[in-house]
Amino acid sequence: KNQVEQSPQSLIILEGKNCTLQCNYTVSPFSNLRWYKQDTGRGPVSLTIMTFSENTKSNGRYTATLDADTKQSSLHITASQLSDSASYICVLTGGGNKLTFGTGTQLKVEL
Amino acid sequence: EPEVTQTPSHQVTQMGQEVILRCVPISNHLYFYWYRQILGQKVEFLVSFYNNEISEKSEIFDDQFSVERPDGSNFTLKIRSTKLEDSAMYFCASSERENEQFFGPGTRLTVL
């Protein structure tokens, strides 16, 4: 069964600090890997999209990496802000544009 | 900026009742999707829809569920006879092609 596991499950950091979220997957084959940000009670919003041949993709303070050999991806957030507090979800796109969502990492940024 | 909209934002219903959740996808998008998220759990794929027919559905999407595009703008999810375990956030998404999906804000369904 295709799985997308994320770690840590939750994370608390101080404003201004950096953090890295991890994603391990067994979805195969897949066309792309996305990281989404989901605020509480809202729909997911795309942060980055990478094809299986890309190693890294940046979007402002967000940088995603992908290692297709080890089936791992990471999302690095630089200089965190209070508004970064949300759930960050690793999502893989399989056949038919079907998305397989990860378990998510709940990030809280504090003063 | 165009966005996916969903109504209602919150629906409360009695077990066994029928509910219809409505979505207005982004206007030039051709692919439509429904997902659900039970409280505290991950988002799960329900169904994808293209060219007026279901292209893929998950095992969750049983005979109690149906989707329809009744006109040129709306995309609906119907649950025929709701169960307690149908309580969840339901997200609609749309995409221009088989690429990035844009999600709506969700409808919170509460079945009593």
Tell me the pLDDT tens digit for each residue of A62-97.
999 999 889 999 999 999 999 999 999 999 987 667
Dig out the tokens for A55 from the structure: 């190693």
pLDDT at B15 over 80: yes
Amino acid at A50: M
C-beta separation of A87 from A107 below 8 A:
yes
Helix (H) and strand (E) counts for chain A?
0, 11
Confidence band (pLDDT; 50, 70, 90) for B1?
Answer: confident
Q: Is the dihedral of CA B87, B88, B89, B94 positive or negative?
A: negative
How far apart, in whole angstroms, are the C-alpha atoms of residue A35 and residue A93? 11
At B71 the pLDDT is: 85
Q: Which residue has the higher pLDDT, B52 or B79?
A: B79
Mean pLDDT for the stretch of residues B21-35: 94
For chain B, give the percent of residues with pLDDT over 90. Answer: 81
How is residue B68 annotated by DSSP?
E
Dig out the tokens for B68 from the structure: 């329809």
Q: Which of residues 38-97 of B touch A (CB under 8 A)?
A: 42-45, 48, 55-56, 89, 91, 93, 95
Q: Please provide the average confidence, as pLDDT, over all residues in chain A.
A: 92
At A2 the pLDDT is: 63
Q: Which residue has the higher pLDDT, A99 or A60?
A: A60
Chain B residue with minimal CA distance to A99? B45
Q: Please provide the average confidence, as pLDDT, over all residues in chain B.
A: 93
How is residue B36 annotated by DSSP?
E
| 3-state SS class at B77 | strand
C-beta separation of A28 from A85 below 8 A:
no
Mean pLDDT for the stretch of residues A8-14: 96
- One-character DSSP codes across B11-70: EEE-TT--EEEEEE--TT--EEEEEEE-TTS--EEEEEEETTEEEEE-TT--TTEEEE--
Residue in A34, A41, A43 closest to B104 by CB: A43
CB contact under 8 A, B31 and A97: yes
CB contact under 8 A, B106 and A42: yes
> Containing H/E element for B95?
strand B88-95
B108 touches chain A (CB under 8 A): yes
Cβ-Cβ contacts under 8 Å, B108 against chain A = 41
pLDDT at B80 over 70: yes
pLDDT at A1 over 70: no
Find where tokens 């630089």 sit: A78
CB contact under 8 A, B42 and A102: yes
Mean pLDDT for the stretch of residues A10-33: 92
pLDDT at A13 over 90: yes
Find the largest Cα–Cα distance for chain A: 43
